[in-house]
Amino acid sequence: MARIALSTKPFTASGSTIAATARSYLDALIIAGLVALFLITFVIGTFFIPSVSMVPALQVGDVVLVDEIAYRLAGPADGDVAIFKPPVASGGNDFVKRVIGVPGDRLVISNGVLYRNGAAVGEPYENQQPAYTLAIRDYGIYVNGHPLDARTANVPPRPKWQAPNRIPDRYYFVLGDNRNYSDDSHVWGFVDRPNFVGRAFMVLWPLRRLHVLEK
């Protein structure tokens, strides 16, 4: 009987420990769920890729995670994959493109090569070299030697420029990685800072393409 008493006493204590451990796990799960709900509601969003403009980084049908608080803390940076409201009619849909130029940058595309502030930019994400030339100069965006029309493209008036050949304050230049199959800043001009929604940072779906987006 003494041996039975000794064997049953640890069993009672173990049951109490299991219950306490279960409660601690449940508390942790509840906290994790609340944190996840907060992130999904206020910080992290999703975006469905509808077109080929960002191939190869983003494929049609990809779903990406979007940091919706990033641009409340700091402006977009060169190389970011950004979600934004375009300056043209889009049926209320947001666009996704890569940030190529920020305020103060000088941009030129010549012979298929992007030059930022006089230096050639390596673009491993680019699907193909652009078949057009481009330059920001004379208070405008020139494509194939012709300025974009400010009546149909978002090109600010001269008083908003700080220099004739640099992107004005609070304006950004974006391009699709699939350069010759993308409607972007070389067609409709700059994106205003308030129009940015967030920064895409990961392909979530399909699972076979799960990966973090790199600049």
- 106 and 153 both lie in a single domain: yes
- 88 and 189 both lie in a single domain: yes
Full-model pTM = 0.82
In one letter, which amino acid is 68? Answer: E
Query: Which distant-in-sequence residues (6+ apart) come within 8 Å of 208 by Cβ?
Result: none
Task: Report if residue 58 sits inside a domain.
Answer: no
Label residue 6 by pLDDT band (50, 70, 90). very low
State the CB neighbour count (10 A cutoff) for residue 92. Answer: 6
Query: Which distant-in-sequence residues (6+ apart) come within 8 Å of 141 by Cβ?
Result: 134, 135, 147, 148, 153, 155, 173, 185, 186, 189, 190
185 assigned to active site: no
- 109 and 20 both lie in a single domain: no
- 92 and 154 both lie in a single domain: yes
What local confidence, expressed as pLDDT, does residue 16 receive?
66
Label residue 215 by pLDDT band (50, 70, 90). confident
Catalytic position from the list 14, 97, 160, 182: 97
- 31 and 90 both lie in a single domain: no
- 111 and 156 both lie in a single domain: yes
- Domain containing 99 — which CATH number? 2.10.109.10
Is the pLDDT at 64 greater than 90? The verdict is yes
Strand 211-212 to 196-205 pairing:
antiparallel
3-class SS of residue 181: helix
Task: Report if residue 5 sits inside a domain.
Answer: yes
- 153 and 84 both lie in a single domain: yes
- 170 and 83 both lie in a single domain: yes
- What does the pLDDT look like over 120-166, one tens digit per residue? 999 999 999 999 999 999 999 999 999 999 999 999 999 999 999 99
State the CB neighbour count (10 A cutoff) for residue 27. Answer: 10
9 assigned to active site: no
Host domain of residue 83: 77-195
- 116 and 189 both lie in a single domain: yes
Q: In DSSP terms, which residues pair with 84 in a beta bridge?
A: 95, 196
- What does the pLDDT look like over 161-209, one tens digit per residue? 999 999 999 999 999 999 999 999 999 999 999 999 999 999 999 999 9
Label residue 43 by pLDDT band (50, 70, 90). confident
Task: Report if residue 169 sits inside a domain.
Answer: yes
- What does the pLDDT look like over 89-117, one tens digit per residue? 999 999 999 999 999 999 999 999 999 99
More confident residue, 63 or 214: 63
Separation CA 98–CA 83 (nearest Å): 9
Catalytic position from the list 16, 53, 160, 185: 53
- 86 and 37 both lie in a single domain: no
Label residue 28 by pLDDT band (50, 70, 90). low
Task: Report if residue 124 sits inside a domain.
Answer: yes
Is the pLDDT at 5 greater than 80? The verdict is no
Number of domains in the chain: 2
- 26 and 83 both lie in a single domain: no
- 15 and 82 both lie in a single domain: no
